[in-house]
Amino acid sequence: EAGVAQSPRYKIIEKRQSVAFWCNPISGHATLYWYQQILGQGPKLLIQFQNNGVVDDSQLPKDRFSAERLKGVDSTLKIQPAKLEDSAVYLCASSRQGDNQPQHFGDGTRLSIL
Amino acid sequence: AQSVTQLDSQVPVFEEAPVELRCNYSSSVSVYLFWYVQYPNQGLQLLLKYLSGSTLVESINGFEAEFNKSQTSFHLRKPSVHISDTAEYFCAVSAQGAQKLVFGQGTRLTINP
């Protein structure tokens, strides 16, 4: 089966600009996650979707970050405006619905803020 | 809430030597435990997981981890490492009934020839 697809792989922007990332999960996976991985740290969950509804966005900085999964398949994560501390790798993952289902990760988007 | 502590940020070992990567967790509820591996410029791949049953779990490439409830640990071991094992390893925990993963800081395993 095809894995989780993310684009772009790399993005460089200046602070205060906007940026968007795209994720296509594995077919049939109802749950989709966005993680932020700052250099030298483990991934931190930003938002979790179940189909097109938000399950957990408690660690999403809502003043500048937004995410949507309108049709319950693809998802986009947006940052507006970007700050220097947003430099990180943004990972998308997906899983089947249900307890203890393994999460499958994409290769991530590396964001650099100048 | 859950938390994970990986006690070593870097572990250098020689090829064919044994290795142990340490992981301790904290949780007020029952948990599932995971080890993920991340190769350079790639996403995370599930290495092994403990859900229930036998406390010793194994991966297909020779790694094993043992769940120790009394010590709240889930250390990862391999009796003989290979150059291709060079990667970052992340321990993660999720509360039973929830899908959210909480990750540790990661341990960079470097294999020297």
Report the candidate in B85, B90, B77, B88 with the shortest Cα–Cα distance to residue B111: B85
The pLDDT-based confidence of A1 (bands split at 50, 70, 90) is low
Where do the DSSP E strands lie in chain B? 3-6, 10-14, 19-21, 23-26, 31-38, 44-50, 56-58, 64-68, 73-78, 87-95, 102-103, 107-112
Q: What is the pLDDT along chain B (113 residues), one digit of tens a residue?
A: 889 999 999 999 999 999 999 999 999 998 999 999 999 888 899 999 999 888 999 998 899 999 999 999 999 999 999 999 999 999 999 988 888 899 999 999 999 98
Which residues of chain B have a CB within 8 Å of the CB of A45?
Answer: 100-102
- Which pair of structure tokens corresponds to residue B112? 């020297």
- Section A74-98 average pLDDT: 95
SS3 state of residue B87: strand
Local structure of B11: helix, strand or coil: strand
Interface contact B41, partner A, CB < 8 A: yes
Residue B53, both tokens: 């049953």
**pLDDT at position A25 over 70:** yes
How many inter-chain contacts (A to B, CB under 8 Å) are there?
Answer: 59
pLDDT of residue B92: 96
Chain A contact for B46, CB < 8 A? yes
Rounded mean pLDDT of chain A? Answer: 94
For A84-87, the CB contacts below 8 A with 24+ separation are: A84/A15, A84/A113, A86/A111, A86/A113, A87/A38, A87/A39, A87/A111, A87/A112, A87/A113
Across residues A28-54, what is the average pLDDT? 94
CA distance A98 to A73: 17
Q: How far is CA A7 from the centre of its chain?
A: 11
Point out the least confidently predicted range of A5-9, A88-92, B42-46, B76-80. B42-46
Cα gap B89→B87, rounded to integer Å: 6
